[in-house]
Amino acid sequence: MNRKNELVTRDANIATLRDLFARSKQQIAAALPSHLTADRLIRIAMTTVQRTPKLAECSPLSILGCVIEAAQLGLEPDNILGHAYLVPFWNKKTNRYEAKLIPGYRGLLDLARRSGELSMVYARCVHEKDKYEIAFGLEPRLIHIPCDSDTPGEIIAAYAVAKLRDGSSQFEWMWRREIEAVRARSSAANDGPWVTDFAEMAKKTVLRRLMKVLPLSVEVQRAIARADELEFGDAQLYEPDLKEQKTTDRLSAADALAERLKPATDIEAVPRQPLDTNAKNEENQESEPEPAQDESLFT
- Spell out the per-residue pLDDT of the chain, length 299, in tens: 566 666 767 888 889 999 999 999 988 998 888 888 999 999 999 999 988 888 988 999 999 999 998 898 888 988 788 888 898 888 888 888 899 888 888 888 888 888 788 889 999 999 999 999 999 999 999 999 999 999 999 999 999 999 998 889 999 999 999 999 999 988 778 877 889 889 999 999 999 899 888 888 777 777 777 777 767 764 333 333 333 333 333 444 445 554 554 444 333 333 434 444 444 444 444 444 444 444 333 33
- What is the C-alpha to C-alpha distance for residues 86 and 79, in angstroms, rounded to an integer? 7
Nearest of 218, 125, 237, 116 to residue 175 by alpha carbon = 125
Nearest of 51, 33, 12, 21 to residue 257 by alpha carbon = 21
Residue 222: the pLDDT is: 74
Q: Is the pTM of this model over 0.85?
A: no
Residue 263: the pLDDT is: 46
Residue 5: the pLDDT is: 67
Sheet holding 155-164, edge to edge: 118-127, 155-164, 169-175
Q: For the chain, give every domain's residue range.
A: 3-103+235-261, 116-215
221, amino acid identity: Q
